[in-house]
Amino acid sequence: MQTLQRKKFVLYYPPEFVGGERTQIVNGIAFFTEDRGFKRMEIDEIESMDPMDSISISYLKIWRV
């Protein structure tokens, strides 16, 4: 039987962000849209992340867990 593995991401917003320093856990790739300010190339890069990978987009840091 095949099972689907849901992708989870941890986002770290540094103190320079408008809302201040915080972390957020996101379930699935649906959070990363152009409406939320992500570019298509960035979305593709996030979608192809392996578990425990991390990337930085501007000041935002994203980990796949």
Confidence category of residue 5, pLDDT binned at 50, 70, 90: low
Q: List, for residues 42-51, the tens digit of each pLDDT value.
A: 999 999 999 8
More confident residue, 59 or 35: 35
Q: What pTM was computed for the model? A: 0.81
Which residue's entry shows tokens 């992340």? 49
| Per-residue pLDDT at 4 | 54
Tell me: the pLDDT tens digits for 12-56?
999 988 888 999 999 999 999 999 999 999 999 999 999 899 999
Instruction: Return the amino acid letter for 26.
Output: V
Q: Residue 64's closest CA among 36, 28, 39, 31?
A: 28
